[in-house]
Amino acid sequence: MSATIIDGKAFAASVREKVATHVARLKEVNDITPGLAVVLVGEDPASQVYVRSKGKQTVEVGMNSYEHKLDDDTSEEDLLALIDKLNNDPAVHGILVQLPLPDHLNEDLVINAIDPAKDVDGFHISNVGLLGTGQKSMVPCTPLGCLMMLRDHHGSLSGLNAVVVGRSNIVGKPMANLLLRDSCTVTIAHSRTKDIEAVCRQADILVAAVGRPQMVTGDWVKPGATVIDVGINRIPAPEKGEGKTRLVGDCDFDSCAEVAGAITPVPGGVGPMTIACLLANTLTACCRANALPEPEGLTA
Ligand code: GUN
């Protein structure tokens, strides 16, 4: 293996530390404590784990955490009433509605009911439009985390060829917009892309966000390229015992690491950065709401 491992766990810890320092100063100088409200509808076990983790880390950086757990059969009307209440609560600077929502709730309607200034997920259509036109917005947490790691590793990204594999609204598209804003030459590749391996081999920066375990192999990677693996896939691991599983990315780590210049591992790469960026976005939203300077190095 020749690639440098980009340590997302350590990077996320440094982001949280910066957030905590800024939060402490906000309290001391301005008597303001940022607040993040997380809304969970239903009992999806994976979502419960995420929400617990978000609440814990929010408190650890000195922010207020408000958790709203609603029943599986909560009506759209009741959910929208809660969002309206949070929109109008001055102690709440960020609102996150955990996805996926139960089938009877319209996700687009719910997300677009959040005040765009409090939309720390960056999923509101206004924020999507602002990012797409290169204006100040709230930026989705996972692509923001990827961008922070890329800027840290490369310094300037200007003129680099970036290929994003995957065209989701949550990762692929915002990632491509962020890379374009940093003056990369950007290609979005997807399931219908012709000769996707050859397209990927052009990339100085290769971001894999497709949700297919170990799809990207070393022969897709340009020697020396930086590989950012957004995938988190659980696969059977019979070598660990019957019924056991393990986490892998969208990249085949071993073969990619032979060729890449730098690579994020799974777990311990992009994953930890997502919640760290959620905290960074909440701080940014709080600063903007109070017309205070934004934290340096924590925004796009
Ligand atoms: N479910 C899984 N990841 C996310 C996320 O980043 N934001 C929201 N709102 N829900 C999620």
The percentage of the chain sitting over the pLDDT mark of 70, rounded to a whole number, equals 100
The residue among 163, 139, 46 whose CA lies nearest residue 98 is 46
Name which of 112, 109, 63 is nearest 87 in CA terms: 112
CATH class (in words) of the domain with range 141-271: alpha beta
- Quickly state the pLDDT bin for 20 (edges 50, 70, 90): very high
Say if CB 227 and CB 1 are below 8 A apart: no
Q: Say whether pLDDT at 118 is over 70.
A: yes
CA nearest ligand 1 atom 11, residue: 99
Q: Chain-wide mean pLDDT for the chain?
A: 97
- pTM here is 0.97
Distance 241 CA to ligand 1 centre (A): 31
Which amino acid residue places its CA nearest to atom 1 of ligand 1?
A: 99
Say yes or no to pLDDT of 105 above 70. Answer: yes
pLDDT given at position 156: 98
Q: Over 90: is that where the pLDDT of 294 sits?
A: yes
pLDDT score for 1: 66
Query: How many whole angstroms from 288 Cα to the centroid of ligand 1?
Result: 23
The answer to whether 168 is a known ligand-binding residue is yes
Question: What residues act catalytically?
Answer: 54, 98, 121
Mean pLDDT in residue range 252-279:
98
Residue 39 CA to ligand 1 center (angstroms) comes to 11
Whether 98 lines ligand 1, by a CB cut-off of 6 Å, is: yes
Which pLDDT score, from 0 to 100, does residue 2 have? Answer: 87
Contact 274, 145 (CB under 8 A): yes
pLDDT at 173 over 80: yes
Q: Do the domains spanning 30-116 and 141-271 agree at the CATH topology level?
A: yes
What residues have CB less than 8 Å from 106, skipping those under 6 apart? 76
The answer to whether the CB of 96 is under 6 A from ligand 1 is yes
Q: Is the pLDDT of residue 84 over 90?
A: yes
Which CATH class for the 30-116 domain?
alpha beta
Q: How confident is the model at residue 232, as a pLDDT? A: 96
Domain limits, the chain: 30-116, 141-271
Residue 121, ligand 1, Cβ within 6 A? yes
What's the pLDDT tens digit per position in 25-69?
999 999 999 999 999 999 999 999 999 999 999 999 999 999 999
